[in-house]
Amino acid sequence: MSCSEDYAPQLRARGYRMTLQRMAILHVLHHSGKHLSPADVYEKAHKELPGLTETTVYRTLEFLAENGLARPAHMGNGHLVYEIARHEHHHLKCRNCGDEMEVEHALLKSMYRKLESESGYQLTDSHLTFFGLCPGCQKGD
Amino acid sequence: MSCSEDYAPQLRARGYRMTLQRMAILHVLHHSGKHLSPADVYEKAHKELPGLTETTVYRTLEFLAENGLARPAHMGNGHLVYEIARHEHHHLKCRNCGDEMEVEHALLKSMYRKLESESGYQLTDSHLTFFGLCPGCQKGD
DNA sequence: TATGTTATTGCAAAAAGTTGCAATAAGGAA
DNA sequence: TTCCTTATTGCAACTTTTTGCAATAACATA
C-alpha cells in the first residue's frame, strides 16, 4: 500500500480527504500503469481493502478524474476506462487486432492552437481516441 | 415516416435489411439533426412505432454507427449519444455553460497525416471531443 | 405471388452504472 | 489527545445497457 507518490497533499490542498478507499484505488491504478475498467479496479482494489464497494469505485474514479489524478479514456465501445495521470496523451487503437498505442499530446499542439483561434474557445482538455489499422494488420488484410 | 433520404439501398448493398424499427430510428435521427441519447431516441421512435423496444434501439444505434449511417459521440460523462451521419466533424463543448459547437474535420487533416506517418497506422476514424471555455464564459469567470 | 433462408426483433434475465440518505471517519482546532 | 465539522462511504433501490434465444418478418428466388 505504499506508492512512491504521495497523493494526499494534492487532495488536502483542494479541501478533500485521503481515505483508505482512495489509497487502494490509486495504488491499483498506479501499479497497473495501463487502462482499467471500473470492474477491473474494483476487483483488484477489493483484494487490498475487502470492505470496498463498487459504488465507491465508480464515484472515486470520477472524483480522481475531476481532480487530475486519473485520466478517463474511451475505448470505442462507449465505456470509460481509467489510468493514473501521467503526461498528457491520447490513444490510437487498431480496429482489427485491438492493439493500442499512445499518441503524444505534443503532436496535437499546433492543431490545438488552430482550433483555439478559429473557435474563440480556450481549450482545457479533450477526449481523443483514434482508430485505424496497425502496420501488421494493413498487410494481413 | 418519409425522409427525403432513402437509406434502404445502403443497407441492402451490404446484405442487411431495412425494417420498420430501423426506419423509425433513422427518421428520428434525421429529423432531430442533433445528438440524441439512446433514451431520447427510444422515447421519440416509440411514438412512431409503439412496439419498439429499448433493446432494439441500443442494438440499432450501434448497428447504424458501424455502417456509417449514424455517428456516435462522447459528451464527457462517459455515455454515448448519436446523430445522423452527415459530413465528418467533431465536437467542442464548454465546460462551464455546456454550449457546444462543431469542429470541421478539415481542421484536423494535417494532424491526421502527421499521426499516420509517425505511427505507421492507417487511420480510419476517431472519437474526438474537445473541452474548453467558450468566449462568453471566459469573460464571466 | 408464394416460398425459403436468415437477418432482425422482442422478451426476460443479467450486468453495469447511478442516486439518496443515514452512518462513518478524516483531519483541523481546542 | 479529544472533540467537532463535514467529506466520504456503504447500503439499498433504481436506471441504463447488454446478452441469449426463440419467434418473426425482410426480401431474393422461383
pTM of the model: 0.90
Distance from the Cα of B87 to chain A's closest Cα (Å) equals 18
- Tens digits of per-residue pLDDT, A73-102? 988 788 999 999 999 999 999 988 888 999
Amino acid B98: pLDDT: 84
A114 contacts in chain B (CB < 8 Å): 107
Residue B17's pLDDT is what? 97
Closest residue to A127, CB basis, from B123, B129, B134: B129
Testing the interface with A: which of B82, B100, B104, B111 to mutate, by most A Cβ within 10 A?
B111
Concatenated DSSP letters of chain A: ---SS--HHHHHTTT----HHHHHHHHHHHHH-S-B-HHHHHHHHHHHSTT--HHHHHHHHHHHHHTTSEEEEE-SSS-EEEEE--S-EEEEEETTT--EEEEEGGGGHHHHHHHHHHH--EEEEEEEEEEEE-HHHHHH-
Mean pLDDT computed over every residue of chain A: 92
